[in-house]
Amino acid sequence: MQKDPIHLTNHILGAGAKAGAVDVAAAASRNSVNGVSLPIVDPHSAEAFRRRSLCSFDQPGVVMTKLPQELEDSQHEFGSKLVVIMVGLPARGKSYLVKKLQRYLTWLQYDTKVFNVGNRRRTASKGDNKNGTSHSHAFFDPQNKAAKTIRDELALESLEELIAWLKQGGRVGIHDATNSSRERRKMLLNRLESEPNCRVLFIESICTDPVVLSHNISMKLSSPDYKGMDEKTARDDFRKRLENYERSYQTLGEDDEEDGIQYCKLINVGKKVIAYNIQGYLAGQCIFYLMNFNLSPRCIWLTRHGESVDNIVGKIGDAPLSAKGKKYGACLSRFIKQQRKENERSRRVEAEAGMAISPQREKTVAVWTSMLTRTKETVEEFDPKEYDIKHIRFLNEIYAGICEGLSYSQIEQLYPEEYEARRVSKLFYRYPGMGGESYLDVIQRLNPLIIELERMTSDLLIVTHRVVLRILLGYLMDIDRSKMPDMDVHLHTVYCVEPKPHGTVVRKFRWVEELDWFVEETVEK
Amino acid sequence: MQKDPIHLTNHILGAGAKAGAVDVAAAASRNSVNGVSLPIVDPHSAEAFRRRSLCSFDQPGVVMTKLPQELEDSQHEFGSKLVVIMVGLPARGKSYLVKKLQRYLTWLQYDTKVFNVGNRRRTASKGDNKNGTSHSHAFFDPQNKAAKTIRDELALESLEELIAWLKQGGRVGIHDATNSSRERRKMLLNRLESEPNCRVLFIESICTDPVVLSHNISMKLSSPDYKGMDEKTARDDFRKRLENYERSYQTLGEDDEEDGIQYCKLINVGKKVIAYNIQGYLAGQCIFYLMNFNLSPRCIWLTRHGESVDNIVGKIGDAPLSAKGKKYGACLSRFIKQQRKENERSRRVEAEAGMAISPQREKTVAVWTSMLTRTKETVEEFDPKEYDIKHIRFLNEIYAGICEGLSYSQIEQLYPEEYEARRVSKLFYRYPGMGGESYLDVIQRLNPLIIELERMTSDLLIVTHRVVLRILLGYLMDIDRSKMPDMDVHLHTVYCVEPKPHGTVVRKFRWVEELDWFVEETVEK
């Protein structure tokens, strides 16, 4: 299932790696998990090791746990494993949250998978349920005992699938369903009691904002459940389905607290957050991420610096811009100005049509560059009075250790083994020498920036470097980790990323020197 | 007031710095702050710049904002400024939280100061209030109008002092008082309305755990208010004071939400956290920190690696251990074993005496090293079955850029200007060359580790390097930033840090080679 399991790749992690050290984690051999007391085990056993690795410090590639020799072959059993159980009425943005969380955790290199119960219901009903009752509101009536049994069965089947996947080496499994009654949640917890190696985190999404709610409901009507149905019938059915859910809905609260679980309630897209009993490292990361995002409409433009003197000769180093590079920077400032005007226009139109689900609060555009000469020179034409310009060390290019300042062909000549190791796996390869970095190291240092990017509401231009740009696009465009390190990101090209409620819209603009302007190109992912 | 203001030191930040770039931050020229609408200002004015720098990405030394030229002289006016207003009944651990938060933010290089209203009351009453009524429970009776006026005045005076301090360049001012009625909070908010350049964050501490509560009350009785009073009288008076407070106590809730404020409620030391409307970058950092700490009794041992081959010749580099260094590592493992036994014994005694405020949950000891050879070799005698051993890249020594591998006298010879710049300000000095770091850079990369260290409940041994050890001790022992970079941290010395409710206990043990054992020494701070 895991094509490039991080567990097995420490031997190519460079300076930091050694046999017997893997990136699983540990801190606590607690004797209670998910509120359930566990039998005491020999503290030196594999079982104890597995348990304490459940909720501890664990950042793929940056933290490595030294395993006892006899356990080295079962590395995939260790490390934090998290079962996220979603809670909430339909149309409360659960699946949106789930997708976002999956994208973030996957980017941080925790294998994450979503197990959606609604999809399972639709698949299951295709054969044996031709009259479609498993989609109509009657199916969701809490008094409909037969339907309830089917719904519970579907939820448990999804959970079984999730558990099996975690055992094969997955790290975070997300159970995406309404799970809106305490009875249902108890049922899932009961099943998980016999899985001491999974931590559980409940995440409930509550939405009381009428604008967001009505927007969500409109989106629901284009779901496969209502395919081919006219809008009025669909809306009517969905309203009844909601009422059925509401009749048995029990929000996470003091009763659940007695079960000793950990949970997080998100009210109105992070406006209010209630976190209870959060214990694991990974659970804390999830919640910090979810606390910080917002739905403001905005653009994120990303580009590499203009051509530097080193680029011309194919060297890695901190050189100033060439004449062409400077020309690019000047055109970039005119281009962003024009883009801002277009955005203002289209947002005004959206707002007037009542389509904006969140007000556009800020007109300032932030500009982030690295601290290296070539990115700072690229934004020299941007006026600090108009733009909020920041130079941020985290955006510096990957540091190539002893290969710094060499061209790739020089590396091949001088360090053929390093060249080969890098070729085999660019993602895990760490440049040799003090301070040398791997892609994973760069992901970790960019993590606070991603949190900030999600938190802020203004438009943003990022001017950075090849590897950093690949990694940022990897997150924003949800690019598979196997493809991300080989992505073509050319000089003098601007990516324009717009996060929308239904997904991310990406456009790409190439600078044409002869025109001294940008031309839109198709985006391959 | 600021002896070494970070704002003014960018010229020595090395590669990353240039004139006009300062480490203040910006992202949002929102037109409402703390729920108060502000007049629209010219978006290009200094005022607009000041406003948008209030709540945006801002990490001293890592993020630098480019200021318009005409504003460069008023740098201290910019950057996130936060007024933290504490809320909560007496004996709910407010001052403990405040001290912890101050220590963390100061370590992150945000100038932070606590303004304690109780201390002001005691000072004020010394002269004109000889009969001591301002300490006795009657003074806290909500019906006592005269006393209430005095208490409100004291609270406002503290706030004035806080605001004045922020204007002089301070970053986070903490108003440490009960502020337990909505009326009082409104009063403070009203005063802050005319300060559009301060963001407000309310932090309420609620404690319902009877063990923690009774512990806190016992500690209160040793407060200066009860000096010279017998325990029974003191306890009686304090109980009445509490009752008086409880009569007018209004927890933060929906009413306050209508004011558009941002707040965070901490219930039972982070067991449950409610965060509302959190907008600023800095506010988010505060809450993430407060969410993650715990009161479990534990030890953190810290040491540098054993002597390396490079240490003998005074070079900077990644060398293996000398014979002496290996001997140290072996003795370290015996020493920690003995320390664990002692801890278990004393914790058992504390628990039996009913003095433990939090149960000891884990027996595993975590061992963290850097990813460099000399720290990994130092823990070679630690059995991964008994210890949870992690190698963490963040713990690597400061990276010296082009000076890497040189001795200090070679640096002086080859790069006299660098040597001098470093001598003038070790804290801000960034080593030249790609990837070269400053102390501030190292603080930033250690930040996730501090969060983890606060989150975990097990004992912990950290084996690291000179600069990283200084910075970690800087946090744990709350060492002044002017002293931290010059702290003596010798090889073959173990610091043992125990966070206790009333402060941190630090002990120091020096390895004596002839004895092959450790001898306790006095700690100078």
Confidence of residue A194 (pLDDT cuts 50, 70, 90): confident
- Which residue among A62, A284, A390 sits closest to B65, beta carbon to beta carbon? A390
Contact B272 A272 (CB under 8 A): no
- Cβ within 8 Å of A, B 36-95: 43-44, 49, 52, 56-57, 59, 62-68
- pLDDT for residue B36: 52
Listed in order, strand segments (DSSP E) in A305-458 are 365-369, 387-392
More confident residue, A167 or A325: A325
CB of B381 within 8 Å of a chain A CB? The answer is: no
Q: Which residue has the tokens 């000793």?
A: A260
> Tokens representing B515?
């004895």
| ipTM, 2 dp | 0.87
CA nearest to A365 within chain B: B27
pLDDT in tens, B199-233: 899 999 999 888 888 888 888 887 778 888 888 88
pLDDT: which is higher, A19 or A261: A261
Region B281-297: mean pLDDT is 89
| Total Cβ atoms within 10 A of residue A164 | 12
What's the confidence (pLDDT) of residue B180? 92
**pLDDT attached to residue A313:** 74
To the nearest 10°, the Cα dihedral for A175, A178, A184, A186?
Answer: 60
Residues from chain B contacting residue A363 (CB–CB below 8 Å): 29, 43
Secondary structure letter of residue A418 according to DSSP: H
How far is residue A10's CA from residue A22's CA, in Å, rounded to a whole number?
6
Q: Which chain B residue shows the shortest CA-CA distance from A450?
A: B57
B355 HSE (CA, 13 A, CB side): 11
Inform me whether the pLDDT recorded for A233 exceeds 80: yes
Q: For residue A498, which amino acid is it? A: E
Helix ranges restricted to H, A353-402: 373-378
- A-chain CB neighbours of B278 within 8 Å are 273, 291
What is the predicted pLDDT for the residue at A54? 66
pLDDT score recorded for residue B316: 63
Per-residue confidence (pLDDT) for residue A129, from 0 to 100: 46
Sequence length of chain A is 525
Q: What is the pTM of this model?
A: 0.89
CA distance A197 to A167: 9
CA distance B441 to chain A (A): 9
Among B390, B399, B443, B467, the residue to mutate for chain A (most A Cβ within 10 A): B390
pLDDT, tens digit (0-9, with 9 covering 90-100), for B454-476:
998 889 999 999 999 999 999 99
**Residue percentage of chain A with pLDDT more than 90:** 49
Radius of gyration of chain A (CA): 25
Q: How far is A141 from A159, CA to CA, in rounded Å? A: 22
Q: Which residues contact B342 (CB under 8 A, 6 or more apart)?
A: none
Contact A116, A176 (CB under 8 A): yes
Confidence band of A178 (pLDDT split at 50, 70, 90): very high
Q: Assess whether pLDDT exceeds 50 at residue B115.
A: yes
Give dist(CA B117, CA B174) in Å, integer.
Answer: 10
A177 has a pLDDT exceeding 50: yes
Q: Does the pLDDT value for residue A14 go beyond 80?
A: no
**Position B30 confidence tier, pLDDT thresholds 50, 70, 90:** very low
Give the DSSP letter of residue A401. Answer: G
Interface of A with B in 297-336 (CB under 8 A): 317-318
Q: Concatenate the DSSP letters of all residues of A444-462 into one string.
A: HHHHHHHHHHHH--SEEEE
CA B368 to chain centre: 21
Question: Over chain B, what is the mean pLDDT?
Answer: 84
pLDDT at residue A267 in the model = 94
Q: What is the mean pLDDT of residues A248-258?
A: 88
Closest CA to A303 of A524, A515, A507, A522: A507
Of the pLDDT bands very low, low, confident and very high (cuts 50, 70, 90), residue A36 is low
Distances (CA, A) of A362 to A272, A462, B32, B259: 21, 18, 11, 21
Residue B125 above 80 pLDDT? no
Q: For chain A, what is the largest distance between any 2 Cα atoms, rounded to a whole number of angstroms? A: 74
- Residue at token pair 């015996």: B334
| Lowest mean pLDDT, pick from A48-62, B55-69, B365-379 | A48-62
Best mutation site among B298, B455, B460 for testing chain A: the one with the most A CBs within 10 Å?
Answer: B455
Separation CA A267–CA B323 (nearest Å): 60
Burial zone of B230 (CB within 10 Å; 0-12 exposed, 13-18 middle, 19+ buried)? exposed
Q: Residue B73: is its pLDDT beyond 80?
A: no
Closest to B174 (Cα-Cα) out of B72, B261, B77, B286: B286
Beta strands (DSSP E) in B370-492 are: 387-392, 459-464
Asked whether the beta carbons of residue A452 and residue B281 sit closer than 8 angstroms, the reply is yes
Helix-, strand-, coil-residue percentages of chain A, each rounded to 5: 45, 20, 35
Contact B394, B452 (CB under 8 A): no
Q: Is residue B71 very low, low, confident or very high in pLDDT (cuts 50, 70, 90)?
A: confident
When pLDDT is cut at 50, 70 and 90, the band that residue A41 belongs to is low
> For residue B173, what are its two tokens?
């001012």
Q: What is the distance in angstroms between the Cα of B267 and the nearest Cα belonging to chain A? A: 9
Q: Is a pLDDT exceeding 90 seen at residue A158?
A: yes
Residue B357 has pLDDT above 60, yes or no: no
How distant, in Å, are the alpha carbons of A6, A101, A482, A483 from that of A106? Answer: 12, 8, 12, 13
Does the pLDDT of residue B132 top 50, yes or no?
no
How confident is the model over B322-328, as a mean pLDDT? Answer: 97
User: pLDDT grade, residue B104 (50/70/90)?
Assistant: very high
**Rounded Cα gap, residues A13 and A425, in angstroms:** 10
CB contact under 8 A, B394 and A278: no
Between the alpha carbon of residue B127 and those of residues B59, B145, B157, B421, the distances in Å are 44, 21, 17, 50
* Among A50-64, A371-385, B503-517, the least confident range: A50-64
Give me the pLDDT at residue A317, please: 65
Residues of chain B by 3-state class (helix, strand, coil), percent to 5: 45, 20, 35
Cβ B88 vs Cβ B118: under 8 Å:
no
Least confident span in A453-462, B361-370, B386-395, B501-510:
B361-370
**Of A322-336, A420-434, B105-119, the least confident:** A420-434
Min CA distance, A400 vs chain B (Å)?
9
Of A68, A274, A391, the CB nearest to B66: A391
pLDDT of residue A37: 54
Percent of chain A past pLDDT 70, that is, above it, reads: 84
- Check residue A124 and give its pLDDT: 73
- What CA dihedral angle connects B278, B279, B280 and B281, to 10 degrees? 80
- Rounded CA separation A202/A283 (Å): 10
- In A288-337, the DSSP E strands lie at 300-304
Checking DSSP bridges between strand B63-66 and strand B36-37, what pairing results, if any? unpaired
A331: closest CA of chain B, how far (Å): 20
Q: Count other C-beta atoms under 10 Å from residue B418's C-beta.
A: 22
Percent of chain B with pLDDT over 70: 84
Could you tell me whether strands B172-176 and B112-116 are parallel, antiparallel, or unpaired per DSSP bridges?
parallel
Both tokens of residue B504? 């941190």
Taking CA atoms, what residue in B is nearest to A393?
B62
Residue A118 above 70 pLDDT?
Answer: yes
- What is the C-alpha separation between A429 and A451, in angstroms, rounded? 25
Signed CA dihedral, B129, B131, B137, B142: sign only: negative
Residue A326 CA: distances (Å) to CA of A323, A368, A373: 5, 17, 12
Residues of B (384-403) whose Cβ lies below 8 Å from A:
384-386, 388-394, 396, 399-401
Q: Which residues contact B389 (CB under 8 A, 6 or more apart)?
A: A65, A66, B366, B367, B369, B379, B382
Cβ contact (<8 Å) for A458 and B384? no
Domains of chain A by start residue, with CATH: 6-77 (no CATH), 82-292 (3.40.50.300), 300-398+438-521 (3.40.50.1240)
Mean pLDDT of B489-518: 94
Q: Is A259 left (phi over 0), alpha (psi -120 to 50) or beta?
A: alpha
Element (H, E) at B365: strand B365-369
Q: B363–A43: do the CB atoms touch at under 8 Å?
A: yes
Helix, strand or coil, per DSSP, at residue B389? strand
Q: Which residue has the higher pLDDT, A491 or B48?
A: A491
Give pLDDT, residue A315. 66
* Beta-sheet strands, E only, within B199-299: 199-206, 262-267, 272-276
**What is the pLDDT, as a whole number, of residue B161?**
97
Question: Residue B52: its pLDDT value, please?
Answer: 67
Alpha-carbon distance of B60 to B25, in angstroms, equals 9
B292 Cβ under 8 Å from any chain A Cβ: yes
Q: Does A452 touch chain B (CB under 8 A)?
A: yes
pLDDT band at residue A360 using 50, 70 and 90 as cut-offs? low
